[in-house]
Structures are given as C-alpha cells and as structure tokens.
Structure 1
Amino acid sequence: MWTGVGAALALAAGAVVWGAMTYADPASDDAAPGRVKNDRLRTDALLHSGLLQVRHQDIPNAKATFRRVLALDPENKFAWYNLGVLAQNEGHRADAHHAYDAALKSDASYTSALFNKALLLETSDPDAALTLLRRAVAADPKASTAHFHIGATLARKGRDEQARDAYRRAVGLDPSLRPRVPEAYRDSVAPSPSSDESTEAAVNSETPGR
C-alpha cells in the first residue's frame, strides 16, 4: 500500500506499518569517506538483521539490534521507527510516540511514521491524527491506508461527504479495502479514477488555516 524503496513486513487497514530498510546510491558510496561508507553498510546490515529477528518473533534481540543501529547513527529514522512499531505493538504508547517523533525529526515526510503516529492519536486526538494523515498522503498520494483512515476519522466526526471522498480515494488505489469500508459508505466508493481530484480537494479543504 505504500510505494517506494523497501519492503514492509505487515500492513492492513487497521495495522501498524513496519519500516523498511533502504540503501544509499552506489555513486554516493564511492565518493564517501571509508569510515562513513563502512558505517552505512553496518547500519544496513543491522537493520536487515533486526527485521529478520522481528519476523522470527525474537523481539528482545530485535530491539537490541535497532539500538545498535542508533549507536552508529543516532538519527537513523528506520531504527527509531521500528522501535516505535515494537513499542506500539506492546501497548507502550509513550515510547512509541517518542520513537516516531525521533524518526520524523530525521525525516518529516516519512510516511509510515506519520501514519503510525496518527494511529496512536485517532481516538484521543482525532484532529491531530487527521493532520498527520494529511501529511502522509501529501508525502505519498498513493498511500491508500492513510486515505482509508482519513475517511474513518472524518466519518466519526460526522463529515459524511468528505469521508466518502476519502474512502473513494482509498478504494480507487486499493480495491481490496472496499469490504472494510463501513456499510453506510460502501455503495458510494466503487473504484473510480475520476474521484482522485475531488478527493484531493476535499482533503485539502479540511486543512486548518487554508
């Protein structure tokens, strides 16, 4: 559902999103000093190991591995993000919030961190969650799950037409989401490419200060 470099371990309409490792451009590696290049290779290898440990449910060692990444690169958004996912899955909301904030400090448009932080706030602060979700779709307009949660949040706020538009965008990007759309909205959200522009306008019109 997200686009870009990397691979996600898990993602569904209500699920926490896993972070993905990425690699530097080879040309920039060649120009980098040896120590910097070696540190980058080590962090990439550790991130890969950490994700494998998560796959095998070796959570304590996965946490330790992601912290080793941060010892090498304190601003590594992938390590912070994956520590946030682990904390969120364990119900440690404050720790997850801190980790996502650290990831976003490194990259303010990191879509997965914006999305997961929004999930933390959907119930307690829906307006803040909407702001984060809008930032997520601004960074990645094809983030169907973020559009879906915009729809869900707007529906809970009673903004039915805007919720329909957001659901329509989500289903247009990923038709498999349609069964998850609440029944009251489902008939109006058949995938339609023509819905993109109207949905974008509706989402933008909800942004405070515009």
Structure 2
Amino acid sequence: MDRKKSAIGVLALTGLVLLAGCTEPQSVKKEQMRQQYADNSLAARLPMAGDLLNRGQVVQARRTLNECLAGGLNNPMVYVTDGRILSAEGHIDQAYQAFETAIAMDAECDSAWFYMGALKQSQGHHSEALTYYQKAAQLKSSQFGYVLAVADTLSLLDRCDEATTYIYDNLLHSRDGDVLAQAGSIATRCGRMEEAIDIYKRAIALNPRNTGILDSLAGCYRLKNDWGAAAETYETLLKTATSDADRTAYLTQLAACRFNASQFQLAWQCYDKLTVLDRSDYHHMLGMAQSSLGMELTEQARQEATRVLNVSRDNPDAIMVIGCADFLDGQYERAIRSFTKLISNERLDGFAWWMTGHCHEQMGNTERAAAAFQIAGTLRPDSLLLQRIVHEPTDAM
C-alpha cells in the first residue's frame, strides 16, 4: 500500500514536472510572440518616417524614427532612414556615419548605397557619387531610379557617350513612360538629340497623352531646327488643351514653328487665332504682319504692322516689316527711311544695314551699297525673312 501511494506520488510529481516543462515554453513563446509583434509594429512604422520625409515633414519624420529607435528596432533601414533625416536636418557628417553603419550591417543594402551617393552628389562630389550609385544599381538593377542616377551623374561628369549607352543598355526595356522621359531629359542635356527624340517617342508610346513628354519632344525638334516635326507635335498638344491658357501657349509655339519652317500661311492662321484668344498682346498681330510679309502680301503686311505701331509706338519689328514691304514694292527711298530708324537697334542693326545696301544697289548707288554691305558684314544679319526677300542663301550673309 505504501509502495502504491509512493508510486502514485512519483507519478504525480512527474506530472507536475512535465506540466511545468510544458508551461515554461508556452510562456516563452508568448513573450517571443509579443516581442515579434512589437518588432513588426515598429518595422511597419519605419516606412512612415520615410514617407513623412518625402513630404518635407522632417520634424514628424524624426519623431517617428525616434519612436522606432526607442523600441529597440535595429536594422540597416533604420540607419538609412536616420541618415536621410540627418541630411535633411543639415547634419551631413552624421548622415555619412549613418549610411556607413547601414552598409557595415548589410553590404547588400542597396538603398544605403544609393542615399550615400545622393549625399555625395549634393556636396558636389560627383565621381564618388557615381561609385555609390553604380553599386546600388548593381545590387538592384530593377530599381530604375538607381539606373537614372548613374546616367545623370555620368552626364554631369561630361561622360555623355557613356551616359547615353548606359541608358540604352539598362532603361529602354522599362514600361514606365515617366522613367523613359527622365532618360530622354538626360540625353537632351548631353546634346544627343537623335537619341533623346527616340527615347521620348518610346515614352509617348507608353503614355500618349502625357503633355509634359510631348512638350519635351517638341523642344528636341526645335533644338534640331526640325520645325516641321516640332509643329506637328504642337498640333498634337493643341488637341489636348482644356483651357484658353494652354491653347494660347501651344498655339504660340505652333505659330513660331510654322513661321520658322517658312509655312507662312499656316503661321498667319495661328497668329490670327491668337488675336482672338488674347487681344491684349500685340505680338500676335506682329506675327501676322511678319507672316504676311513672308507670303509677299505687302499691303496686308503694312496694315498689320501699322496696327502694331498704334499700340506699340516705334516698335522696331513693325518698322522692319514696313521697310521690307516697301522694298518688295520697289519703294526703295521709303524703305531706306524705315531701315535708318533701325541702325541704332542692337538686335536689328545688321539687318537694317544689309537691307539699306540692297536698296541702294537697286537704285544704282553702288558706292553706298558697298559701304552698307561692309558694315552689315561685320554684324551678321541672319534672318529667314531676309533670305526670302532678297533670295540669297544663308552662307552669303
């Protein structure tokens, strides 16, 4: 009986020990779960600090990060975020240390390399920045922001061939029109207009109604003096306009492109529409006068130029139109009187002397013509209208 009781007691004690053994891991597990939940909660708050910083709310970002630090959160992204905030606060040396700590904790933390590069670049250290950007892009080539940073820094270092090649090798497969638009901007700054146009066209194919990209494409065409293609692009932009302000802006650019393409009738039509959209700007009437002159509609050009002079007294461009109209009509003495008013104008003096020379030439005053041409030759009076009026090639001027 005593042995039976003893056995029961041993079993009971063993049960208690076993029970205690089960209870201890359960309490540890609960503590681990609680700590994991706390860590997850803090980790979830960490991106909030970055979002606040992106919105320029530096104080709130610092407060949120400090809460994470107080909770014991310790990983590379904590130091990346801290470095970004320190940089925004102006603590540059401490920001460097934070990024270096993140890299020391995890050499494959791509964002740490990237933001270190951004900090170096903000201090004008472009070569060092490039090294960090390249490392970030190597670690995560799918992050197009890193790739753009590499290309942009190459362009800042005047390594434009490398920048353009890098874009073509690493960005053209992007399906993000905005990414391609930024790449096009880099190519434009490098002076690679053909490549920029190609990239912008790819961007537009992905985002055909993005007016910013279309405007950038038109700008490239203008830099190439491809006025016809620029005009067609502004025609597309004009169709997207939803306000009079936008219509006026696009129509103004379109008119200038049509004029520079020697499409004077189309230019005149644009300026005519502009006078309806914005009656207060005499430049639209001036554009009509110049376009009429380009079409050799001399009387119409004179009338439109006179209307400009009624609101902008002694306007040199209007005087130039009247002088050229008189020249085309064979009224050389009258034309000279107009051009004489322009010889003191720094912008139009070469044009005025050149046309004065042609007037004297037509009247048989060879010595006066030669003297005027000599003066004009030192002033390079390049002008599309002049070429059309006197029928001379550009290289003759």
TM-score normalised by structure 2 residue count: 0.36
Assess, with a 3 A threshold, how the Cα gap between structure 1 residues 74 and 98 changes in structure 2: closer, same or farther: farther
Aligned to 1:3: none
| Separation in structure 1 between the aligned mates of residue 134 and residue 47 of structure 2, nearest angstrom | 30
Larger Rg: 2
Q: What's the CA shift for 1:68?
A: 2.7
Q: What's the CA shift for 1:74?
A: 5.4
Q: Is the 8 A contact 2:49 2:62 kept in 1?
A: yes
Assess, with a 3 A threshold, how the Cα gap between structure 1 residues 74 and 149 changes in structure 2: closer, same or farther: same
| Separation in structure 1 between the aligned mates of residue 74 and residue 47 of structure 2, nearest angstrom | 17
Say whether 1:185 aligns with 2:165.
no
Q: What's the CA shift for 1:156?
A: 3.0
Q: Is the 8 A contact 1:170 1:177 kept in 2?
A: no
Instruction: Select between 180-189 and 116-125 the one with higher mean Cα deviation.
Output: 180-189
Say whether 1:175 aligns with 2:174.
no
Q: Is the 8 A contact 1:77 1:104 kept in 2?
A: yes
Alignment of 1:187-202 (within 5 A): 187-188=194-195, 190-191=198-199
Residue 185 of structure 1 aligns with an amino acid whose one-letter code is: R
Aligned to 1:149: 149
Q: What's the CA shift for 1:117?
A: 1.0
Q: Is the 8 A contact 1:144 1:171 kept in 2?
A: no
3-state SS in 2 of match to 1:188: helix
Q: Is the 8 A contact 2:148 2:183 kept in 1?
A: no
| Separation in structure 1 between the aligned mates of residue 46 and residue 38 of structure 2, nearest angstrom | 12
Q: Is the 8 A contact 1:77 1:106 kept in 2?
A: yes
Percent identity (aligned):
18
TM-score normalised by structure 1 residue count: 0.62
Instruction: Select between 115-124 and 183-192 the one with higher mean Cα deviation.
Output: 183-192
Q: CA RMSD in A?
A: 3.2
Say whether 1:60 aligns with 2:59.
yes
Q: Is the 8 A contact 2:126 2:156 kept in 1?
A: no
- The number of equivalent residue pairs is 163
| Separation in structure 2 between the aligned mates of residue 49 and residue 155 of structure 1, nearest angstrom | 33
| Separation in structure 2 between the aligned mates of residue 175 and residue 87 of structure 1, nearest angstrom | 31
Residue 108 of structure 2 aligns with an amino acid whose one-letter code is: S
| Separation in structure 2 between the aligned mates of residue 42 and residue 98 of structure 1, nearest angstrom | 26
Q: Is the 8 A contact 1:121 1:129 kept in 2?
A: yes
Aligned to 2:43: 44
Q: Deviations over 1:33-85 (max 9, x none)?
A: 33541332231243255456557765334313212322334532232222222
3-state SS in 2 of match to 1:108: coil
Q: Is the 8 A contact 2:113 2:136 kept in 1?
A: yes
Aligned to 2:88: 89
| Separation in structure 1 between the aligned mates of residue 57 and residue 128 of structure 2, nearest angstrom | 33
Q: What's the CA shift for 1:175?
A: 1.6
Q: Is the 8 A contact 1:137 1:143 kept in 2?
A: yes
| Separation in structure 1 between the aligned mates of residue 54 and residue 147 of structure 2, nearest angstrom | 27
Q: Is the 8 A contact 1:88 1:96 kept in 2?
A: yes
Aligned to 1:166: 166
Assess, with a 3 A threshold, how the Cα gap between structure 1 residues 38 and 145 changes in structure 2: closer, same or farther: closer
3-state SS in 1 of match to 2:195: coil
| Separation in structure 1 between the aligned mates of residue 130 and residue 80 of structure 2, nearest angstrom | 20
Q: Is the 8 A contact 1:145 1:170 kept in 2?
A: no
| Separation in structure 1 between the aligned mates of residue 35 and residue 81 of structure 2, nearest angstrom | 23
Instruction: Select between 44-53 and 152-161 the one with higher mean Cα deviation.
Output: 44-53
Assess, with a 3 A threshold, how the Cα gap between structure 1 residues 175 and 156 changes in structure 2: closer, same or farther: closer
Aligned to 1:195: none
Aligned to 1:77: 76
Say whether 1:132 aligns with 2:132.
yes
Alignment of 1:103-122 (within 5 A): 103-122=102-121
Instruction: Specify every segment of 5 or more residues in structure 2 that has no aligned partner in the other structure, as ranges.
Output: 1-28, 203-397
Runs of 4+ in 1 over 6 A off after TM superposition: none
Residue 177 of structure 1 aligns with an amino acid whose one-letter code is: Q
